[in-house]
Amino acid sequence: MGSSTWFRQYEVTLTKNIKLLLRRPFHLAILLLSSVIRSFSHGSLVVMQEVHGEFPPLTDCGQVDPFYYANVTGPDRDWEAGQNVPMSLNEPWRGGLPVWLMSLGPTFAAISVFWILRDELNSRRWGVLRSAGLRDSVHWMSWFTAFVVLATVNSLWGE
């Protein structure tokens, strides 16, 4: 590989990486479907927001307009009427559960990438290829390209 061009090394290494990814269907499924996990968790967040009817008018900060709240509760400040008015759009987010659920997909994808690269480095394949003349830039660029293609497909499926 030492006498071959950078692009030829890149082509061969990218083909090798794609074949290695195809031999790991579990990791490949996680990389391709991690945004679907995020979409399902986002769907559960919409269900968590128990807004009855039309949402009240908001201020620039995302809070319910105080004049609207005063009109709903009335002059005697009826507590029962005010209970059904959400204070802001941020209520479901305060506990942190929605943020945690939305971060599961990217977290699983990152862990899968780390495992794939760890297995590649532990297999001693890279050392053999380096001794044969493979450039470091070719090796890492081929992995980067494979993961960018997977991330692009993932993002197209998730949204």
pLDDT at position 105 over 70: yes
pLDDT at position 81 over 80: no
Residues 104 and 139 in one domain: yes
Residues 44 and 97 in one domain: yes
Residues 40 and 10 in one domain: yes
Residues 30 and 78 in one domain: no
Confidence of residue 100 (pLDDT cuts 50, 70, 90): confident
Confidence of residue 54 (pLDDT cuts 50, 70, 90): low
Measured distance between the N- and C-terminal CA atoms of the chain, rounded to whole angstroms: 41
Count of domains forming the chain = 2
Residues 143 and 110 in one domain: yes
Where helices occur in the chain by DSSP H, the ranges are 6-22, 25-48, 66-73, 79-82, 97-102, 104-122, 125-131, 136-158
pLDDT at 12: 92
pLDDT at position 145 over 60: yes
pLDDT at 147: 93
Instruction: Report the C-alpha gap between 68 and 4 in whole angstroms.
Output: 73
Instruction: Report the C-alpha gap between 72 and 82 in whole angstroms.
Output: 7
Residues 124 and 80 in one domain: no
Radius of gyration of the chain (CA): 26
Instruction: Report the C-alpha gap between 157 and 32 in whole angstroms.
Output: 8
Burial of 50 (0-12, 13-18, 19+ CB in 10 A): exposed
Minimum mean pLDDT range among 12-26, 31-45, 110-124, 126-140 = 31-45
Max Cα separation, the chain? 87
Residues 65 and 14 in one domain: no
Minimum mean pLDDT range among 61-70, 71-80, 125-134, 137-146 = 71-80
Question: Of the candidates 88, 110, 135, which is a domain's last residue?
Answer: 88
Range of the domain at 61: 52-88
Residues 139 and 81 in one domain: no
Residue 145's identity, in one-letter code, is T
pLDDT at 134: 86
Residues 56 and 111 in one domain: no
Question: Of the candidates 62, 88, 114, which is a domain's last residue?
Answer: 88
Residue 1 forms part of a structural domain:
no
Residue 129 forms part of a structural domain:
yes
